[in-house]
A and B are shown apart, each in its own frame.
Chain A
């Protein structure tokens, strides 16, 4: 049986990896196997911080050769170290899975040996889990930068998803804060995996596909000086050029004292605004340039969609009963689901404000930007619209700020991976 203390150390070290999703893979069970993947993903529990537990998220080891400035597990840090064997990891995964605690394994590791050696042991672990333990549940594997690409490809045929974390939003910051990792060591594997996935798609490969659930990445926000505009540009290019499924952000928390790092953390509000912008890019048809200039930061007062609408008041109000879907998606207070519902519902008859309220459209926000059957209930003056949206916004950010104040006093670490 696995040692409790070891599990504790390696979980504590892994928990700052934001991603825990188990979606995107349709892997089927085999006749003598255990488990399958559910394409929509399944959350198995929720922790008191409001996050979901879907995967058993652990490091194989937190012993690290690298000395990344921001990382609590960096070589020079004085922290308890632990390592699990491939069999210990497999046993734990299978036994948690059979009790329906988890959807699968998210395995990561510090670079405890040469990158090739580390990657090889990760690879051996997931191979063992699939072949010896006949496990067909979800596997997310973290890629080790600078490891041999043949090892990476081997892993990619076994895992459902892989991620190489780009860590910081620019090459310059990466050089300064994570000197052993280079832009190339992170982007090349990403590119190579993308090309392998493209090949499978074009050739309609069905068996042993490379990463059926694709790739994700993560970066730290606020440890380095890049603007939101730069971060979003990078995000957009990662989605477009690397075909990533998700880009995750994690707010910087000052736990490691270093002259190269800021002494104050960034609030969760900034992270939240970036995610809102990320959603607008992926699901609402926005380009980054519309939301945020290259050297600008997102507004703290308004969410990015409101901020965009306030700058483009000449486009509003739009008539709910005739506006095209693309325009409905741009109305503050109407979400993607709401916009689709409106398009369906208006085929059955003209909609009024009462209908919208029942469909859970946020009228407090939307009313300034729409008409229903020609009627307008918003405010005519831009100043008044701004004030009312701002009031609503501060109600939300007050919650954010109280979370932030807890955060800044925290002794917690920043990011546990690698």
Chain B
């Protein structure tokens, strides 16, 4: 079996789709640590703009929304994301029609579920992101999302806090979205040292007080709380620390 290993970028992925398409048995992944069977053959795929564009045109011919969905899935933290997107592309090219609502095809359900995990985390983070005011008045929000979504969150917060300066820091991927009050950029960001403003602790305390008071103790339903707000997100939320 041939295993195509991409560099994690979307052009490399679409190039791999181009190379893999006529293979009878193959897999695509960006994961170097993949478990291999004795007969597998490894092929590293470098991005080829021409091949990538050709594949994307081929897909768009049948479904002009598919590329957007595929790019969302490629942001996932799931190791199988390339393979899942590849299977989805194969079904589109076989059927020559949009299949995003063909819930009778198992690969479509798997693809949609992965896409919804990414869009779901974007939605969750619009709520669960926590900013702290730093000494110089800028706001800083560290978080560790499952999926690579920082650039998709920036427009939301830039509209909302259009006159503030803020930084959203994905500490897992070591990247940050930086907004200066006008425009935003994404850049590398390792460790960050933040000096908090003199009021920050007081507002965090008030927030914790609010959180504890608004809860109805006599109706405990921890399971539901954890279902809606997974424990792995709590690390950055003052009310849970």
Q: Which residues of A contact B (CB under 8 A)?
A: 1-2, 4, 7-8, 11-12, 14-16, 29, 31-36, 38, 40, 42-54, 56-57, 92, 95-96, 98-101, 103, 268, 341-342, 344-349, 351, 355, 358-359, 403, 406-407, 409-412
Q: Is B21 an interface residue (CB 8 A)?
A: no
**Residues of chain B with a CB closer than 8 A to A96's CB:** 203, 206-207, 210
- Closest 3 pairs between A and B when the two form their complex, measured CB to CB: A50-B224, A50-B221, A410-B218
Q: Which residues of B contact A (CB under 8 A)?
A: 99, 101-106, 109, 123, 126-133, 139, 141, 157, 159-164, 199, 202-203, 205-207, 209-211, 213-225, 228-229, 237, 239
Q: Is the CB of A51 within 8 A of B216?
A: yes
**Residues of chain B with a CB closer than 8 A to A11's CB:** 209-210, 213-214
Q: Is the CB of A345 within 8 A of B163?
A: no
Q: Is the CB of A348 within 8 A of B104?
A: yes
Q: Is the CB of B127 within 8 A of A43?
A: yes
Q: Is the CB of B219 within 8 A of A403?
A: yes
State in angstroms the CA–CA spacing of A53 and B126 once bound together. 13
Could you tell me the distance in whole angstroms from the C-beta of A291 to the nearest C-beta in chain B? Answer: 26
Could you tell me the distance in whole angstroms from the C-beta of A235 to the nearest C-beta in chain B? Answer: 23
State in angstroms the CA–CA spacing of A412 and B216 once bound together. 8
Q: Who on chain A is nearest to B200 by CB?
A: A99
Q: Is the CB of B213 within 8 A of A45?
A: no
State in angstroms the CA–CA spacing of A359 and B237 once bound together. 34
Total contacts A-B at CB 8 Å: 164
Q: Is the CB of B160 within 8 A of A29?
A: yes
State in angstroms the CA–CA spacing of A38 and B229 once bound together. 19
**Residues of chain A with a CB closer than 8 A to B141's CB:** 100
Q: Is the CB of A348 within 8 A of B128?
A: no
State in angstroms the CA–CA spacing of A225 and B115 once bound together. 49
Q: Is the CB of A406 within 8 A of B160?
A: no
State in angstroms the CA–CA spacing of A409 and B123 once bound together. 37
**Residues of chain B with a CB closer than 8 A to A349's CB:** 102, 104
**Residues of chain A with a CB closer than 8 A to B160's CB:** 29, 34-36
**Residues of chain B with a CB closer than 8 A to A355's CB:** 103-104
Q: Is the CB of B105 within 8 A of A348?
A: yes
Q: Is the CB of A359 within 8 A of B123?
A: no
Q: Who on chain A is nearest to B204 by CB?
A: A99
Q: Is the CB of A34 within 8 A of B215?
A: no
Given A8-B209, A42-B123, A345-B101: A98 in contact with B161 (beta carbons within 8 A) = yes
**Residues of chain B with a CB closer than 8 A to A101's CB:** 130, 207, 239
Could you tell me the distance in whole angstroms from the C-beta of A14 to the nearest C-beta in chain B? Answer: 8
Q: Is the CB of B210 within 8 A of A43?
A: no
**Residues of chain A with a CB closer than 8 A to B132's CB:** 99
**Residues of chain B with a CB closer than 8 A to A2's CB:** 206
Q: Is the CB of B209 within 8 A of A98?
A: no
State in angstroms the CA–CA spacing of A48 and B221 once bound together. 6
**Residues of chain B with a CB closer than 8 A to A51's CB:** 215-216
Please, could you name 12 A-B residue pairs with CB atoms under 8 Å apart, sorted by A? A8-B209, A29-B159, A46-B224, A48-B215, A50-B222, A95-B203, A98-B164, A344-B101, A351-B104, A407-B219, A412-B217, A412-B218
Q: Is the CB of B159 within 8 A of A49?
A: no
Given A1-B199, A95-B203, A100-B129: A48 in contact with B225 (beta carbons within 8 A) = yes
Q: Who on chain B is nearest to A412 by CB?
A: B218
**Which of A36, A98, A348 is in CB contact (< 8 Å) with B99?**
A348
14 extra interface residue pairs, beta carbon distance < 8 Å, beyond A7-B210, A56-B210: A4-B206, A35-B161, A45-B239, A49-B217, A50-B228, A52-B228, A92-B206, A98-B131, A100-B127, A344-B101, A345-B102, A351-B104, A355-B103, A403-B219
State in angstroms the CA–CA spacing of A45 and B210 once bound together. 11
State in angstroms the CA–CA spacing of A342 and B101 once bound together. 9
State in angstroms the CA–CA spacing of A157 and B161 once bound together. 23
**Residues of chain A with a CB closer than 8 A to B130's CB:** 99-101
State in angstroms the CA–CA spacing of A57 and B199 once bound together. 22
State in angstroms the CA–CA spacing of A235 and B109 once bound together. 37
Could you tell me the distance in whole angstroms from the C-beta of B124 to the nearest C-beta in chain A? Answer: 8
State in angstroms the CA–CA spacing of A15 and B214 once bound together. 5
State in angstroms the CA–CA spacing of A321 and B129 once bound together. 44
**Residues of chain A with a CB closer than 8 A to B224's CB:** 46, 50
State in angstroms the CA–CA spacing of A115 and B14 once bound together. 66
**Which of A347, A359, A403, A410 is in CB contact (< 8 Å) with B109?**
A359
